Amino acid sequence: MQDYARYDIKDFLADEAFCSWVLHQKPADNAFWENWIRNNPDRAGIVTAAKDLISEIHHAQNYLSEDELQHELQRLSAARKSATEELEYAESLDNRSEQNWFAKNWMPRFSLTLGVLTCFVVLFYFYTNSNLKTGQSEISQKSLKDEKNENWIEATNNKATTKYITLPDGSSVRLSPESKLSYPATFVQHEREVLLNGEAFFNVTKNPESPFKVYTSDVVTTVLGTSFTVKAFDGDKDVRVVVKTGRVTVAANAPQNKTQEPEKNELVLLPNQQVVYHRDDQKMKRSLIENPVQVGPADITSQNLVFEDAPVAKVFESLQKRYEVQIIYDADLMAGCELTAELGQEPLFEKLSMICKAIQARYEVIDGQIVIHGSSCR
Amino acid sequence: MRKPAPVPEDEPHLGELWNRFRQNDEQAFDELAKRRYRLLFNYATKFTKDTELIKDCIQDLFLELWYRRTRLTDTSYVTVYLICALRNNLLRKLKVNTRLDDSADIAASCEGFTDNLTVETMLISSESMSQKEREIRNAINRLPKRQQEVIFLKFYEGLSNDEIAKVMEIERQTVSNFIYRAIAQLKTDLPSFSNVIPQIILSFFLKFLS
């Protein structure tokens, strides 16, 4: 393990692993660095600065405009096409002379060859057909059902009101109008899989040995036990997963489609975070929901938070606990900041604005986390 | 210690495109070009600022690959393969051009562009750049040629020191020396760079004094 805590900005820039994370954003690296920043909040400023600088150095070295790029790609594609045609013409000439030779020497065996060829064509047809099927997400959902070889229950909600469903493992589902949920009559051990088309809120019974998976046409949401909403209507441009409690993993559901970028295909979500999967560009983006809610029993969340000359670290800590969001700030720098306030039921972002105003700081939401840019208040 | 993964995220996908295009898949070929064109173009600007020459060079490179597709071998790292191939082609072409043109020598064709930034390419996409990015670009362009190349491979493409050493045919230690020297130089040249830490300390002291 590198001692990143002693790194200054130059060391971060020179570090291969750090550089690779900034430029390639691999999920595994994301997890490592998010965790590291969480554990070293006082270094967050340097990490952010190094990260920004690398991105800027990256952009500063771009000399090609989008128009030029498209133009060149078209030129290349056209040149490639004419190269292929020339080649095919040359090959067809070759073939013609071959055919003459063929007619003279091999006519008697032609019928046999034809028979063998037909066999191949038929085999090839079946082969490609079976391949095609797995390439389509809808059909692959069905095959997921078929494979299980058991009774599946299909719950469709055509009414205008929410439909309540209890799954065989005790988990509850609130199915929104015009939505459909398919689930097995009994869950096989170690496997809790359901298919969703539309919107539903899941409250999943905890079972660490058997992950609960919600399949939609584009993303798979995996949890051990928690509550969250999945919204995936067929006609919509994006798919949304919003977490209420616990921890949820969202992955792109397209391993069979080889032309897709495998990058950023898995994200971990915490409460009050959501992921939006854009169907157009097949990208996932993590953010905070518009109005984060307090997590926990109502008798605790209904109490106001009262601070009297409290260090801001304590204030942020209470907010982190109440909303289960990540707040990143420079604890050393802001050690002198104190706050006297009473925080009630106003929205989280309003609370943050108030606090930031009092300590002359500002906040920013980056990748589903709150980053405080402040100064020492002495 | 965490070892940096040697292969970037979309590299397996490129490898797959590479294999498909070797088997005559035209779409895979176009897709591969689309994904790597910008990288190759920007890399080439480290050798010459003649954008037409660069465009021709990359076009030739890809067409050459298309002609030889059935004879190409499997490669585990397509990006590095393409970078190496382009580098060789460029250096060869620049040498030939120099020989044809008596008045110029290779040093001029390679390095004569750093101070006169009037060339059109320097303006391209600069509208979409921030002031800071423009400063960075100018600072990079003032670095020695080889350091510029190292900085590009490291901060544009995120290549590891080993891969950079392989591409530039130099020792790994030389690469890391180049990186440290270039970063130190950028730090002196860029006000925004060196400000990052002192800014925090400074504001602390100012607050403290007031």
The answer to the question of residue A263 being in a domain is yes
Does residue A272 have a pLDDT over 90? no
- Output the pLDDT for position A343: 86
More confident residue, A91 or A43: A43
Per the CB < 8 Å rule, is B2 touching A17? yes
Average pLDDT over residues B182-189: 89
Average pLDDT over residues B2-7: 39
Question: Which residues of B fall within a CB distance of 8 Å from A32?
Answer: 2
- Alpha-carbon dihedral B125, B130, B133, B134, rounded to 10 degrees: 70
Domain that holds residue A195: 141-282
The answer to the question of residue A291 being in a domain is no
CA distances from B207 to A329, A337, A376, B199 (A): 18, 12, 7, 12
The answer to the question of residue A77 being in a domain is yes
Render pLDDT for B136-155 as a digit per residue (tens, 0 to 9). Answer: 888 898 899 999 999 999 99
Per the CB < 8 Å rule, is A16 touching B161? yes
Render pLDDT for A8-18 as a digit per residue (tens, 0 to 9). Answer: 888 898 998 89
Residues A367 and A265 in one domain: no
**Exposure b/e, B19-40, CB count within 10 A at least 16 = b:** ebbbeeeeebbbbbbebbbbbb
DSSP annotation string for A26-88: -HHHHHHHHHHHHH-GGGHHHHHHHHHHHHHHHHHT----HHHHHHHHHHHHHHHHHHHHHHH
- Output the pLDDT for position B122: 46
Average pLDDT over residues A331-349: 85
Spatial separation of the C-alpha atoms in residues A228 and A274, rounded to whole Å: 9
The Cα of A122 is separated from the nearest Cα of chain B by a number of Å equal to: 22
Residues A247 and A311 in one domain: no
- Output the pLDDT for position A181: 92
Does residue A55 have a pLDDT over 60? yes
Can you read off the two tokens belonging to residue A142? 């069905």
Q: Which of B42, B48, B120, B125 to mutate to test the interface with A (most CBs of A within 10 A)?
A: B125
Per the CB < 8 Å rule, is B125 touching A53? no
Instruction: Give, to the nearest 10 degrees, the angle between helix B172-189 and helix B191-209.
Output: 50
The Cα of B155 is separated from the nearest Cα of chain A by a number of Å equal to: 6
Per the CB < 8 Å rule, is B197 touching A8? yes
Among A25, A59, A63, select the one facing B133 at the smallest CB separation. A59
Last residue of a domain, one of A60, A83, A100: A60
The answer to the question of residue A287 being in a domain is no
- Output the pLDDT for position A309: 86
**Stretch 49-108 of chain B: residues touching chain A, C-beta under 8 Å:** 51, 55, 58-59, 62-63, 66-67
Per the CB < 8 Å rule, is A57 touching B207? no
Q: How many CB atoms lie within 10 A of CB A289?
A: 18
Give the 3-state secondary structure of residue A132. Answer: helix
Among B37, B51, B133, select the one facing A60 at the smallest CB separation. B133
DSSP annotation string for B155-186: HTS---HHHHHHHHTS-HHHHHHHHHHHHHHH
- Supply the mean pLDDT for chain A: 78
- Output the pLDDT for position B93: 83
- Output the pLDDT for position A40: 87
Residues A56 and A70 in one domain: no
The number of angstroms, rounded, from the C-alpha of A333 to the middle of its chain's C-alpha atoms is 34
Residues A51 and A110 in one domain: no
Spatial separation of the C-alpha atoms in residues A17 and B32, rounded to whole Å: 26
Give percent above pLDDT 90 in chain B.
Answer: 32
Residues A121 and A219 in one domain: no
Give the 3-state secondary structure of residue A200. Answer: strand
Does residue B107 have a pLDDT over 70? no
Question: Which residues of B fall within a CB distance of 8 Å from A375?
Answer: 203-204, 207
- A232 beta partners: A198
Q: How many CB atoms lie within 10 A of CB B143?
A: 19
Residues A242 and A355 in one domain: no
The Cα of B157 is separated from the nearest Cα of chain A by a number of Å equal to: 7
More confident residue, B208 or B151: B151
- Output the pLDDT for position A115: 54
Give percent above pLDDT 90 in chain A.
Answer: 4
Residues A351 and A324 in one domain: yes
Render pLDDT for B47-75 as a digit per residue (tens, 0 to 9). Answer: 888 888 899 899 999 998 988 888 888 88
Last residue of a domain, one of A100, A128, A156: A128
Can you read off the two tokens belonging to residue B197? 């830490």
Residues A56 and A121 in one domain: no
Residues A146 and A273 in one domain: yes
More confident residue, A212 or B110: A212
Average pLDDT over residues A90-101: 54
Q: Mean pLDDT highest for which of A119-123, B112-116, B130-134?
A: B130-134
Average pLDDT over residues A303-328: 87
Does residue B117 have a pLDDT over 80? no
* Enclosing H/E stretch for B31: helix B26-44
- A273 beta partners: A288
Last residue of a domain, one of A102, A128, A154: A128
The answer to the question of residue A90 being in a domain is yes
Of the listed ranges A139-143, A275-279, A312-316, B142-146, the one predicted with least confidence? A139-143
Q: Which of B10, B17, B25, B38 to mutate to test the interface with A (most CBs of A within 10 A)?
A: B38
Nearest to A179 by CA among A202, A164, A198, A160: A198
Residues A215 and A124 in one domain: no
- Alpha-carbon dihedral B55, B61, B67, B70, rounded to 10 degrees: -140
The answer to the question of residue A118 being in a domain is yes
Interface A-B, measured as beta-carbon pairs within 8 A, has a size of 165
Does residue A314 have a pLDDT over 60? yes
Helices (H), chain A: 9-14, 16-24, 27-39, 44-60, 66-106, 110-134, 137-148, 298-301, 312-323, 348-358
Can you read off the two tokens belonging to residue A300? 């605790």
- Output the pLDDT for position A73: 92
The Cα of A43 is separated from the nearest Cα of chain B by a number of Å equal to: 11
Average pLDDT over residues A196-220: 86
Residue of B nearest to A82 (CA): B63
Residue of B nearest to A264 (CA): B9
**How confident is residue B82, by pLDDT bands cut at 50, 70 and 90?**
very high
Q: How many CB atoms lie within 10 A of CB B167?
A: 22
Residues A275 and A149 in one domain: yes
The answer to the question of residue A136 being in a domain is no
Per the CB < 8 Å rule, is A83 touching B196? no
Render pLDDT for A131-161 as a digit per residue (tens, 0 to 9). Answer: 443 434 443 444 455 444 568 888 888 888 8
More confident residue, A31 or A196: A196
Nearest to A221 by CA among A199, A304, A209, B138: A199
Question: Which residues of A fall within a CB distance of 8 Å from B158?
Answer: 19-20, 22-24
Residues A258 and A272 in one domain: yes
Supply the CATH number for residue A325's domain.
3.55.50.30
Count of domains for chain A: 4
Supply the CATH number for residue A146's domain.
2.60.120.1440
Does residue A293 have a pLDDT over 70? yes
- Output the pLDDT for position A284: 83
The answer to the question of residue A31 being in a domain is yes
ipTM of the complex: 0.79
Of the listed ranges A66-80, A104-118, A257-271, B166-180, the one predicted with least confidence? A104-118
- Output the pLDDT for position B36: 93
**How confident is residue B44, by pLDDT bands cut at 50, 70 and 90?**
very high
B125 part of contact set with chain A, CB < 8 Å: yes
Per the CB < 8 Å rule, is A83 touching B66? yes
B157 part of contact set with chain A, CB < 8 Å: yes
B33 part of contact set with chain A, CB < 8 Å: yes
Q: Max CA-CA distance within chain B?
A: 73
B13 part of contact set with chain A, CB < 8 Å: yes
For residue A162, which amino acid is it?
T
